[in-house]
């Protein structure tokens, strides 16, 4: 079958592509990205890694921007992933003075992609 006058797409883009997947964590505010973290290959995101590596980058970025911004309040919106809800994460965010907005509950009645 031709798609837009071109030959069929291959079943797999590149052999071995699945084994090279990496997880990127990008945190941003209205001014742009605050922190970009690349999880080391063959590791899992844990609360310890999130607090020590990701939130430490966010803390330094916020401190750098704090003098340029007229507010001292920082608010996070996380999803309900395990490392985001862990006790170590919530305690660290509390110590940094960062308020976490509650993630809205999922409801199929509220799903905007149904419209």
**DSSP per residue, 39-99:** PPTT----HHHIIIIIIHHHHHHHHHHHTTSS---EEEE--S-HHHHSHHHHHHHHHHTEE
For residue 1, name the pLDDT band (cuts at 50, 70, 90). very low
Give phi and psi for 33, each to the nearest 5: -75, 140
The per-residue pLDDT for range 66-75, each reduced to its tens digit, is 777 766 778 8
Cα separation, 57 vs 66, whole angstroms = 14
CA pair distance 50, 56, nearest whole angstrom: 9
What's the pTM value of the predicted model, to 2 decimals?
Answer: 0.67
Q: Which residues are CB-neighbours of 54 under 8 A, at least 6 positions away?
A: 25, 27, 35, 37
CA 76 to chain centre: 11
pLDDT in tens, 29-71: 877 888 889 988 888 889 999 999 988 888 888 888 777 776 6
Confidence (pLDDT) at 32: 81
User: From CA 115, how far away is CA 113, in angstroms rounded?
Assistant: 5
Count of other CB atoms within 10 angstroms of residue 91: 12
pLDDT of residue 15: 57
């Amino acid at each position: 079958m031709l798609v837009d006058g071109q030959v069929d797409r291959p079943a797999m883009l590149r052999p071995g592509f699945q084994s090279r997947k990496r997880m990127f964590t990008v945190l941003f505010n209205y001014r742009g990205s605050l922190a970009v973290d690349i999880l080391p290959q063959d590791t899992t995101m844990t609360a310890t890694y999130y607090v020590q590596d990701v939130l430490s980058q966010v803390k330094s970025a916020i401190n750098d921007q704090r003098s340029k911004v007229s507010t001292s309040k920082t608010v996070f919106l996380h999803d309900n992933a395990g490392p985001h809800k862990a006790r170590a994460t919530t305690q660290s965010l509390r110590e940094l003075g960062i308020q976490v907005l509650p993630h809205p509950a999922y409801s199929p009645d509220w799903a905007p992609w149904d419209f």
